[in-house]
Structure 1
């Protein structure tokens, strides 16, 4: 019966090719002759295994073929399904002939089980190659992205690597950066970036570098929700990505320190980036204005917290009282006491800016 199937393999391969292209996404974008040749090769392996007197299944030949498919840009995750369809089609022919020859049903069932075991083993071999390629691809992508953001690619190397990773040297990309951990939330973020920030022609290029997820985004991710902060650098051509990456890391660092979430860039953080400037001047001013307040112990700390919250609430007394669970008159009394102890009148612009700067620097230092 197996010998009788041999002459029909070309016809079966052609039929299966039509089936694949009609029912499996992406196959309609792969050259028909290539699919048919690969399908014929798999069918030949199945028939050869059925011919064999040995129950041992050799997967080396299929693994080598799977690597060739990957080089031909055929999605390997779909190949396993096509192998099972092919085995089912071949066994359908064998079953018809076995039934015609009045073979016992138990024998036919045993043949079917064995065929399905082989198909499953073949599919597993393809998945192994898929994993192998994925790991190798991730390693190459991480190496490329690291050298790109570090500015370690020469113009010649950048041109070659950009082609390999589908990066358009004339397109402006945003750099996204966030802390990486093995959680569902971070995995969901990565999936959302890949889905929403790619274009029909340009994929998102991402890798985990030094425990940070770094992604090269062909377009922005407006409206992307994220419980933690994601730093964004300004749009830049690939040659200028190192500068964008530094902006993204800086935005992430500041947003993390001050509890900002979602997509953040330096511009969206308002005056927060200024808090890292002027350490010497800040120390001198803090000694002059905050020392009397902090020397007042717990009461002074309550006053500092109230004023900082008052500024966070855009100087709205009712919102501050609600947030701190205190009476609005208590808020007013503490604001007055703050002015008495520090000499800063937050109704004056200069003193308001200085108070905000000193209090937020103090909060950041306490959080570290």
Structure 2
């Protein structure tokens, strides 16, 4: 065992004598990887010097490296990530330079007429060294990628916040320039989307894949997702996607305020899919003018609520409006006789002392019922109209 250790130490000494040549041979191997052209020579030289020291320490069965070689494979792996060297190239390059040193070990072992079993033992140690530190390099690279992704996400979130709040300085938005992935000379949709927490990753992916030509800046925002995208988004299952625009970058704050308002109203009306101010129409005004809604509620809904069959009457009125005031379609939708529909309409008009044939009354009743449908979300009162 002592003789074996002494022989490997002798070979290690012979490798140290060849250190300069072994560093050059490693550099030649590394430069065969095109991606390594962006790595400075002094950076690679440090790594090559460390590799020789690591092999020598392994053969001498030492755990520590000589003084002056302070960095390790973790530092190197993180640095290669920052230099944008592909992970596959990092591992292939490391194995290539360790193969240079392994071949040099075999040459020196042959020069001293080492026993084949000693050569095999030393070769096995160097294989284990290669595998162990390849894993270290990969782990360091993965951690660096994770850290980079986190920084990118934080930057993206901060940028979205600045864009939607109008905090981007005019000088940052120049013709022909770009803010992150968005261009100042294009129009963009501003999106605020909502889904259950578990579905937010799917929603984010859906918005990111809006189209191959789309430039999209996306980030979480409160409990929602905000996106600035060149393509109008499409519907996503179990999500409401409110859009404003399209607008230039300088108008994003106004479009975001519109998308926020649209999303709030769409959620109260239990809408899904892609919604904008035109699809919600006058319902935006219903949500905004709550005092008027309460006045009309007292005028056209409260008198009915004190009567038997109030729910059936109010549901019939709403269905009547939804079916374009068709008695037949209303009856079919509610699975009742047409005369039942006529009776309920007549009963409603008697209770509120107004006729739905009058245009002003028609509009006011519709407004009162729309307000009633979101009233529970507004002030905690129960809603009485079935959807």
The question of a shared fold, defined as TM-score above 0.5 by the shorter chain, is answered with: yes
For 2:314, the equivalent position in structure 1 comes to: 304
For 2:38, the equivalent position in structure 1 comes to: 34
TM (norm. structure 2) is: 0.74
**What pairs up with 1:136-175 in 2 under 5 angstroms?**
136-158=151-173, 163=178, 165-175=180-190
Note if 1:176 corresponds to 2:185.
Answer: no
Note if 1:261 corresponds to 2:272.
Answer: yes
Q: How many residues align?
A: 341
For 1:186, the equivalent position in structure 2 comes to: 200
The Cα shift of 1:122 comes to 1.2
Note if 1:208 corresponds to 2:220.
Answer: yes
The Cα shift of 1:261 comes to 0.8
Distance 2:45 2:243 in 1: 48
Q: Which moved more, 1:260-269 or 1:79-88?
A: 79-88
Q: SS at the partner of 2:186?
A: coil
Shift of the 174–55 alpha-carbon distance from structure 1 to 2, 3 Å rule, reads: farther
Q: What CA RMSD, in Å, does the superposition of the two structures yield over aligned residues? A: 3.6
The Cα shift of 1:119 comes to 1.2
Shift of the 280–186 alpha-carbon distance from structure 1 to 2, 3 Å rule, reads: closer
Shift of the 33–58 alpha-carbon distance from structure 1 to 2, 3 Å rule, reads: closer
**What pairs up with 1:208-227 in 2 under 5 angstroms?**
208-221=220-233, 223-227=234-238
Shift of the 181–293 alpha-carbon distance from structure 1 to 2, 3 Å rule, reads: closer
Distance 2:195 2:236 in 1: 16
- Paired residue for 1:340, among 329, 345, 350? 350
The Cα shift of 1:166 comes to 3.4
Q: SS at the partner of 2:246?
A: coil
For 2:140, the equivalent position in structure 1 comes to: 125
Distance 1:288 1:227 in 2: 36
The structure whose Rg is larger is 2
Return 5+ residue gaps in structure 1 as ranges.
Answer: 21-31
CA contact (8 A) 1:87 1:116 kept: no
Q: SS at the partner of 1:233?
A: strand
Note if 1:9 corresponds to 2:26.
Answer: yes
Q: Which moved more, 1:277-286 or 1:287-296?
A: 277-286
Return 5+ residue gaps in structure 2 as ranges.
Answer: 1-10, 65-70, 111-115, 379-387
For 2:243, the equivalent position in structure 1 comes to: 232
CA contact (8 A) 1:233 1:265 kept: yes
For 1:24, the equivalent position in structure 2 comes to: none
Distance 2:26 2:179 in 1: 37
Shift of the 92–196 alpha-carbon distance from structure 1 to 2, 3 Å rule, reads: farther
For 1:29, the equivalent position in structure 2 comes to: none
Q: Which moved more, 1:352-361 or 1:58-67?
A: 58-67
Distance 2:123 2:38 in 1: 33
Q: SS at the partner of 1:196?
A: coil
Shift of the 83–110 alpha-carbon distance from structure 1 to 2, 3 Å rule, reads: same
